[in-house]
Structure 1
């Protein structure tokens, strides 16, 4: 699909929510949906025509889209490891030799970067795997529905006094039924993975690379895909009062003690999907409002830019937070308090600085990488 400014705005709001949540500001509210939002976005933008019959191609496309930049940033984290140790950003970490630096870089080839500043990039292998599982569900749904496919028989087409349909009517109706069957079958497979994820969460069973979270996410892809397929007019349901109501609902939920933290298996059962969908509606409604009003165009353009560079922001904002902490300790405190080594942030009162720098500096980095890519391609 062509890049949509609207969906870039959605992603921009989403990545800003992640940065804000990691500063500790409104984190209980934002954690209810901020990670799930990106699963929903990916599901909505799924290209069925291109990938329904090619799940491995879909998996390869997801890897190809993030792996080069992932390696750039994780190599950077490995190269500054010793700097972080000697300046107090890391505690209880060894000084790396050159072979250890190279080992850290090559470990990242399989999305297993060992560096603490890697932080938020735990999401990347989860996103790739969950997208691949969803692509497999769509493929399996199509394969299952094809088992029931057959050409119209002579009996189907034979004229009869009590038959009102013709052979052409039958042929026209059959593909629509098959598509619905394929979608439903894909949904059944997706719900199986969701149930598996819920069971793993309930049993506090963690898997390598947070694969338990990948299983949990698959139904969100399918739900978003259903919106894309069957409600192309979805934006007529997006309006400011809906944004307010959904926000109030989520705030009430977090005030009564509902918590979500996918990375540590803090999942409120099936309510996870309710909070994810309400959160997605909340962000989509806000994005719709920003895009439709001309006086908000500068803000919507800024959010779209953040959305375009959402991966760069995801990758770098922890590092930016710690550089801010280091500058504060060196230039203002002239000391190295314990807060310097606290992740993701050390000093809550610096939250406005964290937020602004945490999105602007990675966006600048992403812009530079894009320019380098264009120059050498």
Structure 2
């Protein structure tokens, strides 16, 4: 039997990946000057750590290393698959000016080397730039698991869990505030451990807390986040170690995640929105991999229609600031169409093969 999915988790993942698409396709909304980019950046990555905490279920039948291995077996094939596709298409993208003209051309040895590096989360393709999150997220969840099970073996596990959550928060803030750059963005992984703990705690008391987290709170929380950003004390951009302010990062992250939970409550009441965002949540890695190339293919089409030059087309990650609503739609819809189209084709092929050889 198919395991029943948690609608709230799928909705939160859907809101998170849609927010990533929004942040990569607009920054300040034309006309109203609303800082949509800085706004979604306050939560758009950490919401996935929170969901990881909600999804975490301690197990005694396998070791934490086996759990980590199972998770690796889920994310690495997706990472390698998309890396290979984008590495092989790199020169073609350069030829049609989706990539900037000063980008290096790959030779055969470069392609082979990069494919092997992808097997250890080492790809650096511009069109796959959002995938830096995958390795960072995997490492953060893995460290959480090791800390969790180690704390469980102690005499007073609750105290040790609190210590782990507090200490990793302090270390993560220090690393990022001092602009320490580690391999695979581990400094960001450490920041996420505390958020995983918060997600795990939320799931434990979820039934009680959901009584107070209603959809109508979302505009209030949104205004609070906007007012904090209006103080001009900085912004959150975790790929660049920017955490707004050491004392404010976790409070604004919690505000952002709470905002998402309240939004999810509203979406859950509307059938179409629930279906759309749950579908996006179930396919978040695929949207993460394909949304930027979707932007650039749309830009290519517009540039051909309007007969614009390569300088416009080579703008990254999008070329037309005023077309942000279209980027929002295609950035989510087109990857989903491609993913479900691929699955349909594979299924039809499987059925055809079975009919041919199992008569």
Normalised TM-score (structure 2): 0.88
Match runs of 1:1-377 below 5 Å:
2-25=4-27, 26-49=36-59, 54-91=63-100, 92-145=102-155, 181-257=156-232, 258-267=234-243, 268-291=245-268, 293=269, 296-337=270-311, 339-371=312-344
Larger C-alpha radius of gyration, 1 or 2?
1
| 1:159-184 residue CA offsets vs partner (Å, 9 max, x unmatched) | xxxxxxxxxxxxxxxxxxxxxx3233
Q: Hey, what's the Cα distance between the residues in 2 that align with 1:184 and 1:58?
A: 24
CA drift of 1:87 comes to 1.7
List runs of 5+ in structure 2 lacking aligned partners: 28-35, 352-359
| 1:36-56 residue CA offsets vs partner (Å, 9 max, x unmatched) | 1111111111112368x7221
Would you say the 8 A contact 1:134–1:190 is kept in 2?
Answer: no
Q: Compared with structure 1, are the counterparts of its residues 318 and 200 closer, same or farther at alpha carbon in structure 2 (3 Å cutoff)?
A: same
Deviates further, 65-74 or 325-334: 325-334
Would you say the 8 A contact 1:137–1:187 is kept in 2?
Answer: no
Deviates further, 134-143 or 54-63: 54-63
Would you say the 8 A contact 2:215–2:264 is kept in 1?
Answer: no
Q: Compared with structure 1, are the counterparts of its residues 188 and 373 closer, same or farther at alpha carbon in structure 2 (3 Å cutoff)?
A: farther
Q: Compared with structure 1, are the counterparts of its residues 73 and 297 closer, same or farther at alpha carbon in structure 2 (3 Å cutoff)?
A: same
CA drift of 1:261 comes to 0.6
| 1:255-305 residue CA offsets vs partner (Å, 9 max, x unmatched) | 1124101110111213111111111111111111221x3xx2111111111
List runs of 5+ in structure 1 lacking aligned partners: 146-180
Deviates further, 310-319 or 181-190: 181-190
CA drift of 1:349 comes to 1.6
What secondary structure, in the 3-state scheme, does the structure 2 residue paired with 1:233 have?
Answer: helix
Would you say the 8 A contact 2:131–2:289 is kept in 1?
Answer: yes
CA drift of 1:68 comes to 1.3
RMSD over aligned Cα atoms:
2.0
Q: Compared with structure 1, are the counterparts of its residues 50 and 6 closer, same or farther at alpha carbon in structure 2 (3 Å cutoff)?
A: farther
Would you say the 8 A contact 1:107–1:114 is kept in 2?
Answer: no
Would you say the 8 A contact 2:221–2:255 is kept in 1?
Answer: yes
Normalised TM-score (structure 1): 0.84
